[in-house]
Amino acid sequence: MMKKTAGLLMILMLLITVSAGYADDSNSMKEDGFSTSYSYNYDYWGDVQMTPDPYRVLTVIDSSSLGLEQLDNLSINNPQGLFARGGDVYVADTGNNRILQLNLDGEKVTLTRIITEISGAEPATLNGPTDLFADEEGNIYIADYNNHRVIMANKDLNLMKEFRKPTDATFNQSSEFLPSKIAVDVAGRVYVLATNVNKGFMKYESDTSFTGYIGANPVKIDMADYIWKRYFMSREQRAASESFVPTEYENLYIDEKGFIYATNTVFSEWELKSDTAKPIRRLNGVGNDILIKNDRYPPIGDLYWKSESIQYGPSKLTDITALDNEIYVAVDKIRGRLFGYDSQGVMLWAFGTKGNADGAFNRPTALDHIGYDLLVLDGLKNSVTVFTPTEYGQLIYDATDTYLDGDYDRSAELWQEVMKLNANYPLAFRGLGRSMLRQEKYLEAMDYFERAHDRDDYGRAFKQYRKIWIEKNVLWVVLILAVLLLIPLILGRIKKMRWEVIMHEHSKVRH
Amino acid sequence: MSTVKSVIEPTAAERAERRRAWLDRYGKSLRYALHVITHPFDGFWDLIHENRGTIAAANTFLFLFLLTRVLKLICTNFQFISAPIQHINVFEEAASLLLPFLVLCVANWAMTTLFDGKGRFRDIYMGMCYALVPYILIQLPMILVSNMLTFEEGSIYTVMLSLSLIWCVFLVFVGLMEIHDYTPGKTFIFIIVTIVGACVILFLMLVFFSLLSDAVSFFVSLYREIVFRLN
């Protein structure tokens, strides 16, 4: 009897431990092999360091908070696109074939209007709009996916321009024009990411003429693949394999300076680890990637993952946005995490998780920003989460901004504040080190740079320190050098003399 | 007669005398390393055949080699080597060099002894330890030097490090040639054969230990089962 109870108890305890192991994985992703807190960062060794939260949830915008249910009983359904400018937020409510225009003022959200049709367009109604853009004057660009067009409408929703399938020979005329993501630069040029196009982004001039592609991956010739296809595949197989064309880019964003930030989710693991995949790119006018990567690890989101699978593979960065200070933020749809990088490619913070709580995501689809606030659209939760920086996050931004403005002393003060909140922050050490270097406190600067593993700046500080040290101790240095040089010289002379004396005695004896 | 007597009952004076002689020989064999690394052809020959080296000196060099290696990881300036100190196990690092070294010595002895190599295992071990001396002599001071340089001036550091390695490899080659009385071509072939042999030894060790752990775990579980039944 005793034995049976003990056995039952053991099984029960085993179950409890196992279930406890599973219970808290909503936040930490234990079976991924790498448990993290909500907010974290990677240190020089790539180890996860927990950090204070850089962002907090300001408000969550969903159908009920907008009062959509009372209005027309159509709650937001599978939203794909998000755009924010000033206080205006546009949501592409793809499932309901409409655009929601909201106004965000602090925590207060009001529904400005619902856009369902563009007068003058043919057809006037939207059909599965996937993305949109609004320029300074309030003109709206809409990627009208299922109507195979990109519409530009003015403030009053009258049709201005229409961008359609190019008649150009470079575009496969047998396939449809399916614009999924769009971005517009200052000159009114429209960049379109279209499904089934693998030549990069399609570029339209402001007069709606198609002028080519930008940012295509250079073609890699795989010898083995070529031989296999050429000699071992039947004609039918070859045709079938060619019709499968993955879209390589996932999303795009045009920053203040007119460069295109793009994310890419089609790659294999080894490409990511050797940094040939480049999941985040910054394309210049001719489509070359000019993203700066000065950190030890390239900007790829999470550095570790268990294996390539739908749920636990490498980060799939589904959207990107660039703040005004060249800090860019990307969102991972696999684990619902946001990653912030500075202009040098150094990770500033990472936070987020999967789940239903505020601040967690089910399937993030789009990301945009207003000032330092971040807006994340969730395609499954049908909501927009608005994040605002915490004191910690704001300090990081302020320190970065003041440094870029050249106010180094103020920047150092701010980094000092950051360090009070997070003593494991390499950027804070580097910022403080630079300030110390400017104040000619070389030894302190060296200490900070060593903590930040900043080799170049350490060298700069150390050179000065060494120079001063030698100037101070020049007497001793010369003395020691002289002694080191003279002692062997004298010893050699003595040996020689002794040898000569011996030889002399020897010769005397012989004679 | 006197030797027998001293073995049975060494006087204090005799003991002191013997210790002094040993120390003298040890010191000489240590200093002889400088001759070996600068005149390897004569040096290695005399080391073995003229009995100029001692195992004690060889052990010292091996120990210093491991020490240098560990110190290098820990004390070199972060500009040149940034080892994750929080993850380093000093003994593991030392063992990861010691084991291959010994396995290679054993493999070399096992192979050359079949193909009329003249060296005994003792000779091979001693010779290889003496061949490590440039590594110690150059890399130990370079740890200090690394803390006096900036990364831009680091070329002198890397040049010295590669110099020490090239020197060591050269000494190993010449050492094996002299120890076994081989021609250069034969030495080269047997270095490759030694590496293959070492791999075989490692494989056998792996198999042996995994089988051993299986066997041990079998008996452990058997014991547990019996204890469980008896209760």
A37-66 residues touching B, CB cutoff 8 A = 44-45
Within 10 angstroms of residue B56's Cβ, the number of other Cβ atoms is 13
Q: Which of A418, A382, A384 is nearest to A400 (CA)?
A: A418
| Confidence (pLDDT) at A393 | 93
Among A45, A449, A477, A484, pick the best mutation site for testing chain B contact (most B Cβ within 10 A): A45
CA-based nearest distance B87→chain A, Å: 10
**A363 exposed, middle or buried (CB, 10 Å; 0-12, 13-18, 19+)?**
middle
Give the closest-approach CA distance of B147 to chain A in angstroms: 10
Q: Indicate the residue among A338, A361, A389 that finishes a domain.
A: A389
ipTM greater than cut 0.90: no
Q: Is B65 or A66 the better-scoring residue by pLDDT?
A: B65
Binned at pLDDT 50, 70 and 90, residue B125 comes out as very high
- Among A367, A389, A411, give the residue marking a domain's end: A389
Which residue of B80, B82, B230 is the best one to mutate when testing the A interface, meaning the one whose CB has the most A CBs within 10 A?
A: B82
Q: How far is A45 from chain B (nearest CA, A)?
A: 7
Q: What is the pLDDT of residue A387?
A: 94
| Rounded Cα gap, residues B180 and A419, in angstroms | 63
Tell me, what's the pLDDT at A220? 62
- Give every strand in the sheet of A108-115, ordered side by side: A81-85, A88-93, A98-105, A108-115
**A2 close contact with B: CB closer than 8 A:** no
Residues of B in contact with A455 (CB under 8 A): 78-79, 151
What are the residue ranges spanned by the domains of chain B? 55-230
Q: Please tell me the number of Cα atoms within 13 Å of A145 on its side-chain side.
A: 23
**Separation CA B105–CA B194 (nearest Å):** 8
Which three-class secondary structure state does DSSP give residue A140? strand
Q: What is the pLDDT of residue A241?
A: 62
**CA proximity to A27, closest of A311, A351, A348, A306:** A351
Q: What is the structure's pLDDT at A31?
A: 44
Q: Is A493 exposed, middle or buried (0-12, 13-18, 19+ CB in 10 A)?
A: exposed
Looking at CA atoms only, how far is residue A354 from chain B in angstroms? 31
Q: What backbone phi and psi angles, to 5 degrees, belong to A84? A: -135, 135
What is the pLDDT, as a whole number, of residue A218?
Answer: 65
Residue B12: pLDDT band by 50, 70, 90 thresholds? confident
Residue whose C-alpha is closest to residue A459's, from A427, A432, A477, A433: A433
Residues of chain A with pLDDT under 70: 1-36, 218-221, 240-247, 307-311, 509-511
Looking at the fold, whether A305 and A410 belong to one and the same domain comes out as: no
Reduce the DSSP state of residue B76 to 3 states and report it: coil
Tell me the sheet residues that pair with A102: A89, A111
What is d(CA A362, CA A375) in angstroms, rounded to the nearest whole number? 15
Taking residue A423's Cβ as centre, other Cβ atoms within 10 Å add up to 11
What is the pTM (predicted TM-score) of this model?
0.78
pLDDT digit string (tens) for B200-230?
A: 999 999 999 999 999 999 999 999 999 999 8
Provide the pLDDT confidence category of residue B4 given band limits of 50, 70 and 90: low
Domain that residue A157 falls in: 52-389
What distance in Å separates the CA atoms of residue A131 and residue A181, rounded to the nearest whole number? Answer: 5
Which residues of B are less than 8 Å from A462 in CB distance? 150
Cα end-to-end distance, chain B, whole Å: 67
Measured in whole angstroms, the distance separating CA A480 from the mean position of its chain's CA atoms is 54
Q: Is residue A39 part of a domain?
A: no
Specify the DSSP class assigned to residue A343.
Answer: T
Q: Which residue of A has its CA nearest to B87?
A: A45
- pLDDT of A20: 42
| Number of separate helices (H) and strands (E) present in chain A | 13, 25
Q: A137-146 long-range CB contacts below 8 Å, 24 or more apart?
A: A140/A90, A140/A99, A140/A115, A141/A182, A141/A184, A141/A190, A142/A92, A142/A99, A142/A118, A143/A81, A143/A92, A143/A179, A143/A180, A143/A181, A143/A182, A143/A192, A144/A179, A145/A94, A145/A178, A145/A179, A145/A180
Query: Which of B86, B87, B152 lies at the smallest CB-CB distance from A459?
Result: B152
Instruction: Tell me whether residues B79 and A45 touch, CB distance under 8 A.
Output: no
Within a domain: residue A24? no
SS3 category, A355: coil
Pick the last residue of a domain from A389, A416, A431. Answer: A389
Measured in residues, chain A has a length of 511
Q: Is residue A487 part of a domain?
A: yes
Residue A339: closest CA among A91, A36, A80: A36
Whether residue A65 sits in one domain with residue A150: yes
Kindly identify which residue of chain B lies nearest to residue A469, measuring between CA atoms. B148
Residue to mutate among B150, B155, B229, with most A CBs inside 10 A, is B150
CA nearest to A461 within chain B: B150
Residue A11 lies inside a defined structural domain of this protein: no
- β-partners of residue A125 are A117
Is A407 found in the same domain as A356?
Answer: no
Residue A10 belongs to a domain: no
* Chain CA centroid to CA A267, Å: 16
Residue A411 shares a structural domain with residue A508: no
For the sheet with A55-62, list strands across it: A55-62, A383-389, A373-378, A364-370
Is some CB atom of chain B closer than 8 A to the CB atom of A467? no
pLDDT of amino acid A34: 46
Please indicate, yes or no, whether residues A335 and A428 belong to a single structural domain of this protein.
no
Query: Are the C-beta atoms of B19 and B27 separated by less than 8 Å?
Result: no
How far apart CA A418 and CA A426 sit, in angstroms, is: 11
pLDDT for position A240:
65
Site of tokens 């300001």:
A58
CB contact under 8 A, A462 and B150: yes
Q: How many domains does chain A have?
A: 3
- For tokens 């990411």, the residue is A193
With a cut of 90, say whether residue B3 has pLDDT above it. no
> A466 and B86 in contact by Cβ < 8 A?
no
CA dihedral A504, A508, A509, A510 (to 10 degrees): 100
Contact A415, A427 (CB under 8 A): yes
Please give the single-letter amino acid code of residue B172: V
Cβ-based interface (< 8 Å): residues of B facing A: 78-79, 82, 84, 86-87, 148, 150-152
Look at B151 and A456 and tell me if their CB atoms are within 8 Å.
yes
* Angstroms from B170 CA to nearest CA on chain A: 29
**Residues A71, A113: Cα–Cα separation, whole Å:** 12
Chains A & B: contacts with CB separation below 8 Å: 23
Q: In terms of domains, do A79 and A180 share one? A: yes
Tell me, yes or no, whether A238 and A257 share the same domain: yes
Task: Give the tens place of pLDDT for each residue, B164-178.
Answer: 999 999 999 999 999
- Is residue A175 assigned to a domain? yes
Q: Which long-range contacts (CB under 8 A, 24 or more apart) does A110-113 make?
A: A111/A66, A111/A67, A111/A68, A111/A71, A112/A88
CATH code where residue A202 lies: 2.120.10.30
Looking at residue B184, what is its pLDDT?
92
